[in-house]
Amino acid sequence: MGKWTRRAVITAGSLVGGGLALGVGGIAFAPNRIGILSKGDGKEAAQLTTWLKIAPDNMVTAIVPHCEMGQGVHTALTMMLAEELDADWNLVRMEEAPAEEIYANGYIARAFVPGLSDVPKFTERFVDWGTYRLTRLMDLQVTGGSSSVRGTGFLGMRVAGGAARTMLIEAAAKRWNVPVGECETKLSSVIHPGSSRSATYGELAADAAKLDPPVHPQLKSADKYTIVGKPIPRIDIPSKVDGSAKYGIDVAIPGMLYATVAAAPVFGAQLGSVDATPIANLPGVKKVVKLDNAVAVVADSYWRALKALRTLIPTFTETTQRKENSETLASTIGRALEGDESKKIFSSGDAAATIGGAAKAIEAEYRVPFLAHATMEPMNATARIANDRCEVWTGVQDPLAARKVAADASGLDADQVTLYNQQLGGGFGRRLPGAHDFVDQAVRIAKEMSPAPVKLIWSREEDIQHDYYRPAVIGRYKGAVDSKAAPIVWISKFNGAGGEAAHVPYAIAHQDIRAVKFGSHVRQGSWRSVEHSQHGFFTESFIDELAHAAGKEPYEFRRGLLEHAPRHRAVLEKAAWISGWGAAPAAGRARGIALVESFGSIVAEVAEVEIVDGRIKVHNVWAAVDCGYVVNPDTATAQIEGGIIFGLSAAVFNEITIQDGRVAQSNFNDFPLPKIADAPRIKVEFIQSNAALGGLGEPGVPPIAPAVANAVFALTGKRVRSLPLKV
């Protein structure tokens, strides 16, 4: 690839009708400064991302290159832009960027260079970190990795807002023939207090558009914020209480047909034969479409398509995977863990030699199962192929990647494909790139029905049985304490990537952390908080076990191992404080604590549990969070609350098991989710450390399972080492 050179690529231009459009191109990231960089060959101009428009009527439009799936990113990013612009929040609106290369946000991934920060997992399968395969990065327009606010917001939206503000001031100063330094901005106007003159941004936008954008726009310090840091109501909420919010599944195109699909129950099998005659004469049924590994029925309504599909008896090819089940897969993982092949994740000191002479050593094996995302909106996509064009309406976490999937499936070039991204009825990783099989299917079916548009809707059964599952992992742990009851050895080995999720925040001198490879025919993907969802449980359960082995109180034990990590320790202390850790809980209840850093944020949770009718009842959860700085406190709180419930579903409620090569569960009757009666009271508090911004969409998830497991141990004396927890 070409050499990157530092050059400003904030670019401004005029809007039709006399406004200002402003964009920021590739962003350079260094630990202590934000710069702007550009590729020397000029291609970078094509990667320009337009983030801001100011119209003559003084309306500011923020263009957000991320999807909204309830995480509040449309509001938070717009707030960050409006703040630096000094805009009147009532005069700001938001548009989601279209799925076009100019809105690629793959450069955000570059901000998360290994060693500088944590690597968002969603980029892993696209990014060769050794060489930065930029072309792949530029295919991304991704929302994942808890990266939108700390990436696009911090590095992009603020810069765009600040640059526009600088230009508007300059335009006003020229118009009034006064020094720039005498002008101020407030509520979408530039003011010159000395002469009591003011002009709205809309009035100045056309002049500002003729100016050169600043290279390093001045950004505000947090104490000057009037929008960021305030609990601004989310802009997407009003439409979500009256049924008017439109999701992918709600798309209606004139002449639209409906399809539903049944893919091979055993992953890897192909469609054999299917006899379409039983449904040939059913009213409204249009066609049986054979795909490589699935059969679909197209009809004039979803219900007719579903009824017809359920009448068919397709055969699928035999595969050796049909003999697999959860037990055989666990045995395979077990063999891998016993093998000689492993990848070192981290080591220090000499763990193997030290454990032999330690005062006390323990070992434990933990297991977590596959998990489905189970977004409330089942997978769906609507596609139309006509006149050498392909149009797709769907809700995905990466519309550019989905457009590529549609191009491949239709046989057209990407520039012949238009993808209209819709609001997502849940994402959690299911709608990330690499998991857009429903888009591929919809386009292939639409090709058969061209020029009619076809809406493909998966049944819930299809959704549960054809997910890209949270990987099942087995972790084996060994640890030891010395004669002073201090932990000195931490040895772990597990299947999967592990990566930074497997690191231990505690001061333990001798460590050996290793991962082994495990492949299976079961499709695997990113599940909210990715590897932290497994490793949070493993690490925080085993440190609890070490505390008990050392005869120490588990909170004090952890706290004593965090001298070197003051932010972690402060979070742990805050969680203990707000939960009243030192005071005894009500009779029959006990508390557990856990601390996990993920996606740049540190979260400690305390869970208070009781055993009711042989089941674990979580009454209360207290969470302390350090994500650096909180952009929207109410949305941030909601993300932690939601993360706790999401994590609780894995901790106590559900699992995906494999039988005869296929997923055994099929709907919410056998893959149950927590209900309101199961939801604990949750109290969330933030620490404003002003450290680098961390994510919030995922970090609430990992600590809850170990917090509950540790509470169950405190209550019953029984250490439960597999999820979902059972007593």
Name the residue nearer to other proteins (CB basis): 28 or 679.
679
Applying CB under 8 A, does 93 fall inside the site for other proteins? no
Binder among 223, 242, 340, 388 for other proteins (CB under 8 A): 242
Applying CB under 8 A, does 612 fall inside the site for other proteins? no
CA 399 to chain centre: 15
Applying CB under 8 A, does 674 fall inside the site for other proteins? yes
Binder among 304, 568, 569, 662 for other proteins (CB under 8 A): 304
Shortest Å distance, C-beta 385 to other proteins: 22
573, 574, 578, 584: CA torsion to nearest 10: -10
Shortest Å distance, C-beta 154 to other proteins: 22
Applying CB under 8 A, does 103 fall inside the site for other proteins? no
Binder among 153, 202, 427, 694 for other proteins (CB under 8 A): 427
654 Cβ contact partners less than 8 Å away, ≥ 6 residues apart: 371, 372, 665, 671, 672, 673, 724
Residue 543 falls in which region: left (phi positive, over 0), alpha (psi -120 to 50) or beta = alpha
Name the residue nearer to other proteins (CB basis): 598 or 635.
635
Applying CB under 8 A, does 18 fall inside the site for other proteins? no
Name the residue nearer to other proteins (CB basis): 384 or 478.
384
DSSP 266: B
The structure tokens listed for 470 are: 């949270």
Binder among 124, 182, 184, 236 for other proteins (CB under 8 A): 236
Residue 229 phi, psi (nearest 5): 95, -10
Kindly list the distances between the CA atom of residue 411 and the CA atoms of 417, 419, 442, 443, in Å, as whole numbers in the listed order. Answer: 10, 15, 14, 10
Instruction: Give the amino acid at 73.
Output: V
CA distance 717 to 710: 10
Applying CB under 8 A, does 377 fall inside the site for other proteins? yes
Helices 704-716, 532-549: inter-axial angle, 10-degree rounding: 30
712, 717, 723, 724: CA torsion to nearest 10: -50
Shortest Å distance, C-beta 269 to other proteins: 24
Applying CB under 8 A, does 669 fall inside the site for other proteins? yes
Query: Among the candidate windows 68-76, 197-205, 490-498, 501-509, which touches other proteins by CB under 8 A?
Result: 68-76
Name the residue nearer to other proteins (CB basis): 418 or 667.
667
Q: Answer for the pair 159, 24: CB distance below 8 angstroms, yes or no.
A: yes
Binder among 34, 173, 679, 692 for other proteins (CB under 8 A): 679
> Collapsing DSSP states into helix, strand and coil, what is residue 607?
strand
349 burial (CB, 10 Å; 0-12 / 13-18 / 19+) is middle
The structure tokens listed for 605 are: 């949770």
Query: Among the candidate windows 130-138, 184-192, 337-345, 676-684, which touches other proteins by CB under 8 A?
Result: 676-684
The structure tokens listed for 492 are: 């772990």
Q: Answer for the pair 516, 473: CB distance below 8 angstroms, yes or no.
A: no
Applying CB under 8 A, does 651 fall inside the site for other proteins? no
Applying CB under 8 A, does 573 fall inside the site for other proteins? no
Applying CB under 8 A, does 641 fall inside the site for other proteins? yes
Residues in the chain: 727
Q: Using CB under 8 A as the criterion, what x/- string covers residues 680-719 for binding other proteins?
A: -xx-------------------------------------
Applying CB under 8 A, does 243 fall inside the site for other proteins? yes
Name the residue nearer to other proteins (CB basis): 151 or 643.
643
Q: Around 507, how many Cα atoms within 13 Å sit in the side-chain half-sphere?
A: 12
Name the residue nearer to other proteins (CB basis): 373 or 721.
373
Chain residues in the site for other proteins (CB under 8 A)? 69-72, 233-234, 236-247, 249-250, 252, 258, 283, 301-304, 307, 374-378, 423-428, 457, 459-460, 634-635, 638, 641-646, 648, 667-669, 673-677, 679, 681-682
